[in-house]
Amino acid sequence: MTDTAIRLADYLAPSHLIESVALTFRLAPEATLVLSTIRFTPNKARPGSHDLRLDGENLTLIEAAIDGVPVTAEPDETGLTLPWADLPEGPFTFTAEVEISPATNTALEGLYMSNGMYCTQCEAEGFRKITFYPDRPDVMAPFRVRIESDMPVLLSNGNETATGPGWAEWTDPWPKPAYLFALVAGDLIAHSAGFTTMSGRPVALNIWVRPGDEGRCAYAMDSLIRSMRWDEQTYGREYDLDVFNIVAVDDFNMGAMENKGLNIFNSKYVLALPETATDDDFARIEAIIAHEYFHNWTGNRITCRDWFQLCLKEGLTVFRDQQFSGDMRSHAVKRIEDVLTLRARQFREDGGPLAHPVRPEEYVEINNFYTATVYEKGAEVIGMLKRLVGDDGYARALDLYFQRHDGEAATIEDWLKVFEDATGRDLAQFKRWYSEAGTPRLKATEDWADGVWTLHLEQVTPPTPGQPLKHPKVIPVALGLLNGNGDEVLPTTVLEMTEAKQSFRFDKLATRPIPSILRGFSAPVILERATSPEERAFLLAHDTDPFNKWEAGRALAKDLLARMVTDNASPGPDWLDALARVATDDSLDPAFRALALRLPGEDDMAQTLHASGITPDPARIHAARRQMADALARRLQPELAGLIDSLAEPGPFTPEARAAGRRALRLAALALVTRTDGGLRAAEAFRSANNMTEEVGALACLLDIGRGQSELDTFESRWGKDRLVMDKWFSLQILYAAPEATAETTRRLTDHPAFDWKNPNRFRSVLGALSGNHAGFHHASGDSYRLLADWLIRLDPLNPQTAARMSTAFETWARYDADRQALIQTELDRVLAAPGLSRDLAEMAERMRR
């Protein structure tokens, strides 16, 4: 594996730059012709006599020429080398004609077909499957694209500059790397709108979908318009073309792609009606539309020098979309949700065999590094930076970033330098957040004497693969102090920790304060502090920081659940009463109350137990969590019916946060009632639901108590023709299957005629749900492990990217007992022995194997 690894340390500037690119596509499903005319010029930054290496994979070269002189060199498996001796001294024109076959491209990378429409996916290295090209992000060029096809709608990047029967020509004036290239041709309908930028320029907005779906685009369009306005108002960033196109496709490996002026989306993150999409779907559509739009400046106008710098665009763009969602909805709720995801995905990754720095230093297959660490931890690092330099410093640094690097392919060094230059701060130590993997543990202890309260902090980052030794990081610790009445005696203050051990003194205090540490989750660390249940309950009731208020309740629940698993404890009044108070406190945001009622997840619990040296038993965690829910249901029983009724939304459905929060709390209450009434109320809610949030929410309540078969049938007959809704039907049955029935339920569903396993959404809705059911996936029989491995082996030859991504279900093996470890290792070995294994899945399995 190591001999094929690509290393950051080996970076070399490109030998040649490109002045312009012209492409012509003659589209045909199995024989598309791609004609390219590329104007090259030697790169002065890389003097010397260099061959020109062009990347190219799965291409049939028909002919190529340099300034009209035929090229005699033959392509190899991964590209074509034009020897220095054949290259003119100055600029020259390379032309090529190649043939490709979109109809047989099942990897969904390069030019492929989905439901009869042509579309592309080029990030990270898909353009090389379209034509011979230096497929690296530091080679940027303006593109002109001519598409010849009898498809009614022909789209590419930039503005449409000419069109006629059977062809269209698009011109993108902004130099871009090849990974931002896109082309779409199909029978599509637009949902259109307009936007006037802050300087008064009109922009045509279109969301292109398959006929029949045009009525499901309104929310995505509204989200786009709000994103455009927000980026003007918050970052001073204006859109820079005459048109912004979004296309929804059903077959897509990821969420969406920010191709310049032509975003391509997984249809799951575009199409939504109240009847078909849940509140979570609406929130994700809003966030992803914003994310891809924001990439226009953070990613496209300023791109990455090389793929090691991926977090430069992704961490920053996630950070921006999180700010946007917070502004649109509730910052408190958004922060809690983001931390839940961070812990569930990134902490999990950081604590296992796949741990890597936010800026990795080597990779075999770059597609394997579109990870929670690069995206979510990458965003956390920016949040810390902003906390350290303040809002003004952040704004100055970002202005400088856009001014200094517009039109460039930049690095993390460039990024940190703008912060240093704009604020005068030295960020050498801070940079460790980019280079060291692993989640720091922050141990906190306190002293109290003579009115002086001292906080002692110690940071330790455990070793990660390839990085045995860690160094102290700069950790912004937001702290507040409360007195016994719940009054704030120290408002939120950011302590800057830079040493391995450090103490902070607070004097002139009348009484011993109750600390609220790491407010707003000010750093992506694991806080370890011995805290009594009374103190947690106090903070749950009184903390003025909404994140830490929620965190106190969560910690209380996790402590209890841990004791239930290890000591057979049972839920006592401390937790039950504290939670009941929050659940019924009408002065609190319903969305916050719903989050407070959400019990810790089983995978999260397994992670926490493992971190404290206990081998998690998935079956026991599952049973204890249900027992916890039962106890809560009994405790709240007198209130639940009233709560459910009072939260009913009178008017028509609206997806906005206030209404969604009320539905979330209502469904949390319904789930509890279902545990005591045998499903009466949930069955009624299912019958009367007029939106997908409640329909699917009620169904989940029923499945969770082992009922809901007739409702599943109703659901299937109602939604059988709707792909996106049916994905939910597949998932739910597996997610809520009893542990011993999970593998069998999954197997049965893979036999269902609608299980189209080549469609990534459908594959994920079934096999992703299998690994999402913690107790079912880790059932002692090993059936689920085998089933997942079978399907990864089957998918890999067709779609290596999705197979590799889904193999991360096995990344947690080291947490479990020896029997489970052995079972998982057997499956990883079986994957590694699969004939023709892809580089993608091979790298993942190698890294995970003991």
**Closer residue to Zn ion in complex, CB, 314/545:** 314
Write down the least CB distance from residue 317 to Zn ion, Å: 5
How big is the site for Zn ion, counted in residues (CB under 5 A)? Answer: 2
Do the beta carbons of residue 228 and residue 201 sit within 8 Å? Answer: no
Write down the least CB distance from residue 2 to Zn ion, Å: 29
- In whole angstroms, give the CA distance from residue 637 to residue 320: 41
**Closer residue to Zn ion in complex, CB, 179/785:** 179
Question: In which order are the strands placed within the sheet that holds 262-266?
Answer: 189-196, 202-209, 243-249, 262-266, 256-257
**Closer residue to Zn ion in complex, CB, 244/538:** 244
What are phi and psi for residue 127, nearest 5 degrees?
A: -65, -30
606 to 665, contacts with Zn ion by CB under 5 A? none
Q: Which stretches of 152-278 are DSSP H helices? A: 218-235
Peptide bond into 583 cis (omega under 30): no
Which candidate, 734, 740, 744, 742, places its Cα nearest to that of 764? 734
- In whole angstroms, give the CA distance from residue 318 to residue 323: 9
Which candidate, 45, 44, 54, 39, places its Cα nearest to that of 92? 39
Do the beta carbons of residue 162 and residue 177 sit within 8 Å? Answer: no
**Closer residue to Zn ion in complex, CB, 314/796:** 314
Write down the least CB distance from residue 252 to Zn ion, Å: 14
**Closer residue to Zn ion in complex, CB, 258/559:** 258
124 to 183, contacts with Zn ion by CB under 5 A? none
**Closer residue to Zn ion in complex, CB, 286/314:** 314
- In whole angstroms, give the CA distance from residue 615 to residue 600: 17
Q: How many residues in the chain?
A: 850
Give yes or no: 292 in active site: yes
Write down the least CB distance from residue 303 to Zn ion, Å: 12
Write down the least CB distance from residue 113 to Zn ion, Å: 24
CA-angle at 67, arms to 65 and 73, nearest 5°: 30
- In whole angstroms, give the CA distance from residue 72 to residue 524: 55
User: In a 3-state reduction of DSSP, which class is residue 205?
Assistant: strand
**Closer residue to Zn ion in complex, CB, 216/345:** 345
Q: What does the H/E/C string look like for 835-849?
A: CCCCHHHHHHHHHHC
What are phi and psi for residue 3, nearest 5 degrees?
A: -75, -20
Bridge-based pairing state of the strands 501-506 and 452-460: antiparallel
Which structure tokens are listed for 834? 């699969």
Cα 103 to Cα 27, 119, 181, 249, 841: the distances in Å are 11, 11, 19, 15, 23
Do the beta carbons of residue 191 and residue 214 sit within 8 Å? Answer: yes
> What DSSP line would sit under 468-527, residue for residue?
-------EEEEEEEE-TTS-EEEEEEEEEE-SSEEEEEE---SSPPEEEESGGG-SSSEE
Which candidate, 288, 285, 262, places its Cα nearest to that of 274? 285
- The dihedral region occupied by 435, where left means phi > 0, alpha psi between -120 and 50, and beta the remainder, is alpha
**Closer residue to Zn ion in complex, CB, 40/363:** 363
- In whole angstroms, give the CA distance from residue 27 to residue 99: 10
Write down the least CB distance from residue 255 to Zn ion, Å: 8
**Closer residue to Zn ion in complex, CB, 317/771:** 317
Write down the least CB distance from residue 172 to Zn ion, Å: 19
Question: What are the residues whose beta carbons fall under 8 Å from the beta carbon of 268, sequence distance 6 or more?
Answer: 255, 281, 724, 727, 761
Write down the least CB distance from residue 295 to Zn ion, Å: 6
**Closer residue to Zn ion in complex, CB, 223/674:** 223
Write down the least CB distance from residue 265 to Zn ion, Å: 12
Active-site residue, selected from the candidate residues 57, 125, 292, 365: 292
Do the beta carbons of residue 264 and residue 249 sit within 8 Å? Answer: yes
303 to 362, contacts with Zn ion by CB under 5 A? 314, 317
Write down the least CB distance from residue 120 to Zn ion, Å: 17
Write down the least CB distance from residue 209 to Zn ion, Å: 22
| CB environment 64-85: b (16+ within 10 A), e (fewer) | bebeeeebeeebeeebbebeee
Helix (DSSP H) and strand (DSSP E) numbers for the chain: 28, 30
Write down the least CB distance from residue 239 to Zn ion, Å: 17
Which structure tokens are listed for 306? 């090389």
**Closer residue to Zn ion in complex, CB, 300/742:** 300
**Closer residue to Zn ion in complex, CB, 125/604:** 125
List of residues contacting Zn ion (CB under 5 A): 314, 317
- Catalytic positions are 292
